[in-house]
Amino acid sequence: MLRVGVCGTDREVVLHGLGGPRGLPEGSDYLVMGHEAVGRVVEIGSDVTDLEPGDLVVPTVRRGCGECVACAVGQADLCYTGRIKERGIVGLHGFLSERVVDSAEHLVKVPRELQAVAPLVESLTTPEKAMRRITNARAHLPDPAVRRALVTGTGPIALLAVLMLRLKDLETVVLARQPADSVQAQLARQTEATYTELADVDLNQPQAKLGGFDIVIEATGAAEMSVAMIAALGQNGVLDLVGGPSDRRPVPIQASSLGAMVGRNLTVQGSVNANPDDWRRAVADLVQMRTRFPGVVDALITHRFDISSFDDRALTRVPGQIKAVVDISE
Ligand code: BGC
């Protein structure tokens, strides 16, 4: 392994453990973390034909339940039983180690130029899947084209979603807590997205300031934000939640938001993980983003740690941090 990114899910794993009794790999009383990884192939099995030693690869995260039709056709992201395992998250050791073994079908080849930023491929698969599901949800419309898109948040997934939308030349607005002169806001503007501070928007009527959107990707994971964004959708709009709140606290919702869902044919959906197409698109898009928006992708990695000095600093969010990455080897 060369380097591994750290994300909010890793913090959840450390704080609460995920998956209950099936959280730890069979036979282990610990879990090796890390699921946003890039590595170099050092050795292949005799039946492997499409990889060779020296290839740069990004490993996928989820492994199917072995029981349902989705997992049987390589779409474990849509698993019906929920009995999936995820490397570094639930049931299987992750990638924060010097060497790992995996089967070739779970390794995505990446061009050498992506080596430094390749842990972001995994993060980008999340908006790629969201976009695929949004496109499906709009496929029945007489005019499914997206004109205005909104992204909430300025974490790595939010900013990668912005880059993905801007690569498609969509008019994109970012709504988030960070001040307008923050690094995150500046990066968003470098893609020619519009940045709006949350403090300037009345979440009871977001359209008063922002206008209506065809699609919203909600990437803060905040429950109030998730609910409020229903009211940001224009006619036939689609809201996709990618940051799932996990607490049981009830959040109020304006009854008129439910009315708007009916009156405006709105879709509210969530999406998790990604399928092989999303992974391939993430690799291709990351290459293009670096050409089209020079410096922006690389600037998302704000903090680097060496594995020899890895401690909870790598897991602690500090101001100005977007993505922290742990270097394992060169
Ligand atoms: C990962 C996904 C995973 C999800 C749920 C996210 O952080 O990016 O691959 O499916 O957590 O565990």
Express each pLDDT in 43-102 by its tens digit.
999 999 999 999 999 999 999 999 999 999 999 999 999 999 999 999 999 999 999 999
Separation of CA 235 and ligand 1 centre (Å): 31
CATH 3.90.180.10 residue ranges in the chain?
3-117+301-327
CA distance 185 to 124: 19
Q: What is the pTM of this model?
A: 0.97
CATH 3.40.50.720 residue ranges in the chain?
124-270
User: Quick one: 3-117+301-327 is in which CATH superfamily?
Assistant: Medium-chain alcohol dehydrogenases, catalytic domain (3.90.180.10)
Q: Whose CA is nearest to atom 3 of ligand 1?
A: 273
Average pLDDT, the chain: 96
Q: Whose CA is nearest to atom 12 of ligand 1?
A: 89
DSSP string across 314-325: GGS--TT-SEEE
Confidence grade of residue 190 (pLDDT, cut at 50, 70, 90): very high
Q: Looking at the structure, give the CATH architecture of the domain made up of residues 124-270.
A: 3-Layer(aba) Sandwich (3.40)
What does the pLDDT look like over 134-163, one tens digit per residue? 999 999 999 999 999 999 999 999 999 999
Tell me if 84 CB under 6 Å of ligand 1. Answer: no
Alpha-helical (H) ranges within 93-206 are 119-138, 156-167, 183-190
CB-CB contact of 229 with 203 (8 Å): no
pLDDT at position 252: 94
pLDDT at position 287: 98
Q: For 304, how many CA atoms within 13 A lie in the half-sphere containing its CB?
A: 12
Structure tokens at 24: 């730890």
CB-CB contact of 151 with 217 (8 Å): yes
pLDDT at position 127: 98
Cα-based distances in Å from 250 to 221, 227, 253, 257: 14, 11, 9, 16
